[in-house]
Chain A
Amino acid sequence: MGKIFKKPEALSDSPTHYCPGCTHGVIHRLIAEVIDELGIRGRTVGVSPVGCAVLAYNYFTFDFQEAAHGRAPAMATGIKRVRPDLIVFTYQGDGDLASIGMGEIIHAANRGEKFTTIFVNNAVYGMTGGQMAPTTMPNQHTSTSPFGRNVDDIGMPIKMAELLAALQTPGYIVRQTVIKPKYIVKAKKAIKQAFVYQLEKRCFSFVEIVSTCPTNWGMTPGEAVKWTEDVLLSYYQLGEYKNPEKVSGDKHAN
């Protein structure tokens, strides 16, 4: 009898540096499973961000480039344009993508670059120690919003999937989460679809994954899951926001 559950080939043996209760590990595994299933490990190039996932290349077993803060979509553009036969994805957090890298992601999406972005949104800067991000919730306490995010002063959290879906260029834009098994199945399906669209040279593909950061939220892993489900998912609604099969950019029920 063969193994029925094993570590994906695209994932390395290195223990990760991620905190207990963090969802990066689950997301890494889903990407690795998809890469294995599609048989593309030998022609995949990942682009790691500045943030908690900067060392992602230690956890995968294929080529990687390491970007400056926010610049991963520009690097992926350079790679994919000169080597369209490579499968390219960026892996970015919300401080990286929605703040300093806003220009790069919007223009890459609008050009319809044929790469995939995995956007891990946990509503806070992780690696630098829990500062306020553009995605931080109203009244959420962080190390730079000690009295809670004041939306009169700093504005409302940015909904990246909706923002990118508003562009007129066709694309695949979806938001999922991985906080419970029922969501993980859908998240994997979305990641796989994103890579398939890239393989078919169809469009830019973007999978936002609402994630946890128990350490910087000051919660236990269990509390973090509950807060994600109760608070984040009511604002960052899951679903498919854009699909290249459909012309309209309207949200489709999940």
Chain B
Amino acid sequence: MGKKILMKGNEAIGEAAVRAGCLNYFAYPITPQSEVAEYLSRRIPEAGGVFLQAESEVAVSYMIFGAAGAGARVFTTSSSPGISLMSEGLSYITAAQCPAVFVNIMRGGPGLGGILPSQGDYFQATKGGGHGDYRLLVMAPASVQEAVEMVMIAFPLAEKYRNPVMILGDGLIGQMMEPVEFPDHLRTDPTDKNDWATTGMEFRKSDKPNIVKSLFLDPNALNENNLILKAKYDRMKAEDIHYESYNMEADYKVLIVSYGTMSRVCRTAVDNLKVNGFEVGLLRPKTLFPFPEKKIRDAAAKDSCQVVISIELSMGQMVEDVERCVQGRRPVKWYGECGGNIPTPETVMDVVTSLVGK
């Protein structure tokens, strides 16, 4: 374990990738995450890696595609409008089964929106964004420390599935400073990619060319490729659902589902309400895809639970998944703001207590 230092989220994310063993970074500046590129523009050359500021986010996603297709560990960071531009590439990268890590430090939208924290890209991250049947493995950190750890494990996860992994953090995760340490044990070696990547035949001592592609003109071949992708997503659901339960052993009247920075506010509200004798459970998904479906279904069905509420920095996106999981067993409500203001614990307490009779 390294020593604990105070670091801004964006810089810690950049350092985490380097510590994880990824020295290839392509990016385009966008607020509120430009500090990642600024930090890595010094750090990566020192470490002997590749830093390149591209001409656009569109180009970034294909530089990532090319580098990943050639077998390298590679990542990028951006914010909402930039991720929209990268979404074309994400579709291709996923179809061609290349591992890569994308970090989205979300700002408010739609359009140019604002530059303050938001969770408005939940649909984009978990349901697609680009065209076609594909999924990203999406992790949502609630602290700078967790962002560091998620970035570090994202690389082996991307390689495990040969699929892009997205770290979905709201703007506050990138902008705030917190004490962090970089766990040495999370440093991993890249997997051998010689069986599929364009590593050069003479380097892998093979006579068989490797082709990285997403075009399958034969309908059976395309269906087959989509079944391979689906099998991976099913495996993610079986092996990589992660969440945190808080005050869930209590006989809660209300179950909050919340993630990222918003979940930390909810946690304070849960503590305060508990002092007043009002029990609230908090379930925080750490992976947004795969989503903790069964956990939410079971938690909502608890006898004491009268109502479930999704509290998010959006106009109601994750709530659709929560409704899907609860399957009508309890009423499902939503509360959120998405202009850039983060609701206070007092606001959350008012919202939650108003849901049930006094």
Contact = CB atoms under 8 A, between A and B. Distances in A.
Interface stretch (B53-61, B164-172, B261-269): B53-61
B92 interface: yes
B201 A74 contact: no
Contacts of B89: 68, 71
Nearest to A41: B201
Contact of B209 (A62, A76, A85, A104): A62
A47 B66 contact: yes
Given A68-B92, A103-B59, A79 B66 contact: yes
A246 interface: no
Nearest to A71: B62
Interface stretch (B134-142, B151-159, B211-219, B345-353): B211-219
B72 interface: yes
Interface in A1-58: 41-45, 47, 54-55, 57
Interface in A50-97: 54-55, 57, 60-68, 71, 74-79, 81-83, 85-86
Contacts of B199: 63, 83
A76 B56 CA distance: 15
A107 interface: yes
Nearest to A106: B55
A79 B70 contact: yes
B84 to A, nearest CB: 15
Contact of B213 (A41, A66, A85): A66
Contacts of B62: 67-68, 71, 74-75, 78, 104
B24 interface: yes
A81 B50 contact: yes
Contact of A65 (B54, B56, B69): B69
A61 B200 CA distance: 11
B358 to A, nearest CB: 58
B63 A63 contact: no
A75 B65 contact: yes
Contact of B198 (A64, A74, A104, A107): A64
B296 interface: no
A83 B201 CA distance: 13
A60 B209 CA distance: 9
Nearest to A83: B70
B211 A82 contact: no
A45 B201 CA distance: 9
Contact of A74 (B50, B63, B71, B212): B63
B213 A57 contact: yes
B67 interface: yes
A81 B203 CA distance: 17
B259 interface: no
B247 to A, nearest CB: 46
A107 B57 CA distance: 13
B305 interface: no
A77 B66 contact: yes
Contacts of B202: 42-43
Interface of B: 24, 26, 50, 52, 54-56, 58-72, 74, 88-89, 92, 96, 198-203, 209-215
27 contacts: A42-B201, A42-B202, A42-B203, A43-B200, A44-B200, A57-B209, A61-B209, A62-B209, A63-B198, A63-B199, A64-B209, A65-B70, A65-B198, A66-B96, A68-B62, A68-B88, A71-B59, A71-B65, A75-B65, A77-B63, A79-B66, A79-B198, A83-B199, A83-B200, A85-B200, A86-B198, A107-B54
Given A63-B200, A66-B215, A77-B63, 18 more contacts: A41-B201, A44-B200, A45-B198, A57-B213, A65-B212, A66-B96, A68-B62, A71-B65, A78-B69, A78-B70, A83-B70, A83-B72, A85-B200, A85-B203, A86-B198, A86-B200, A103-B58, A107-B55
